[in-house]
């Protein structure tokens, strides 16, 4: 999926307001605030996206949605990008800048391309998992922000191992897809609604979430 194609998707902003997730019955764990990459522990998403997540949670019965990240400013996006870039550079000293840019961009959108809106900056992207009634996360095979092949949503289906992980990912995936979220090809925890990424993946002619502000 090229960045050029993504940036060419028309946006017809519908001004759906941003809402604070603290007023909703989700489990919240603001990962980037905890890691010192954001100075705001609050979490926000567009109102309609939140309604859809509430519908998802209703279908899950005894399970609850645990949200790690929603809206993300370009400043926070830059902090995450730099952190991952540095980790890849340290682990792969033979990579040049072009290789680092390609590999970093697979998992973290560059923050400084004005023509491209990072999906999280729209308030329509959410990173989440499932938890049981006690709040314990279900086994999804990798941790959040594990940047490797095992993080791909269908990795364990392809290699036909770890049946519990396959079932847990399928449960989350199908519940989110039923509410018209789209799935990220590299991260099992990442879902989009209403933004350019969502429009491109779902074949819509336009997005209705542009860059948001809090």
On average, the pLDDT of the chain sits at: 93
DSSP string for residues in the chain = --HHHHHTSEE----PPEEEGGGSSSEE--HHHHTTS-S----EEEHHHHHHHHHHHHHTTT-EEEEEE----HHHHHHHHHHHHHHHHHH-TT--HHHHHHHHHTTS--S--TTS--GGGGT-EEEEEEE-TTSPBP--SS-TT--SGGGSTTHHHHHT--HHHHHHHHHHHHHHHTTT-EE-SS-TTEEE-SSHHHHHHHT-SEES------
CA dihedral over 181, 153, 203, 102, signed as positive or negative: positive
Domain 3-73+116-207 has CATH 3.40.640.10: no
Residue 160 confidence (pLDDT) above 80: no
| 189 to 38, 42, 49, 130: CA distances (angstroms) | 20, 19, 16, 10
Q: pLDDT tens digits, residue range 42-76?
A: 999 999 999 999 999 999 999 999 999 999 999 99
Comparing 112-116, 122-126, 194-198, 202-206, the range with the smallest average pLDDT is 112-116
- The pLDDT of residue 3: 52
Q: Is the pLDDT of residue 114 over 70?
A: yes
For residue 11, list its beta bridge partners.
207
Q: Name the residue ranges covered by the structural domains of the chain.
A: 3-73+116-207
In the chain, the N- to C-terminal Cα span, in Å, equals: 29
Tell the residue number behind the tokens 């923050």, with chain if given: 111
What residues are paired with 65 via a beta bridge?
130
Phi, psi torsion values for 97, nearest 5 degrees: -65, -35
């Amino acid at each position: 999926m090229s960045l050029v194609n993504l940036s060419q998707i028309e946006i017809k902003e519908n001004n759906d307001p941003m809402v604070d997730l603290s007023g909703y019955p989700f489990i919240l764990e603001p990962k980037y605030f905890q890691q010192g990459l954001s100075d705001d522990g609050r979490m926000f998403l567009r109102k309609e996206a939140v309604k859809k997540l509430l519908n998802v949670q209703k279908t899950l019965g005894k399970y609850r949605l645990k949200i790690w990240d929603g809206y993300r400013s370009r400043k926070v996006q830059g902090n995450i990008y730099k952190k991952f870039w540095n980790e890849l550079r340290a682990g792969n000293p033979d990579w040049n800048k072009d290789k680092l840019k390609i590999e970093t961009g697979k998992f973290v959108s560059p923050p400084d391309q004005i023509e491209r809106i990072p999906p999280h900056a729209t308030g329509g992207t959410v990173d989440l998992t499932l938890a049981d009634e006690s709040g314990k996360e279900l086994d999804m095979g990798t941790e959040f922000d594990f940047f490797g092949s095992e993080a791909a949503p269908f990795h364990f289906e392809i290699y036909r191992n770890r049946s519990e992980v396959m079932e847990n990912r399928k449960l989350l995936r199908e519940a989110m897809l039923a509410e018209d979220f789209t799935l990220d090809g590299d991260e099992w925890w990442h879902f989009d609604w209403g933004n350019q990424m969502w429009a491109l993946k779902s074949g819509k002619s336009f997005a209705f979430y542009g860059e948001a502000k809090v």
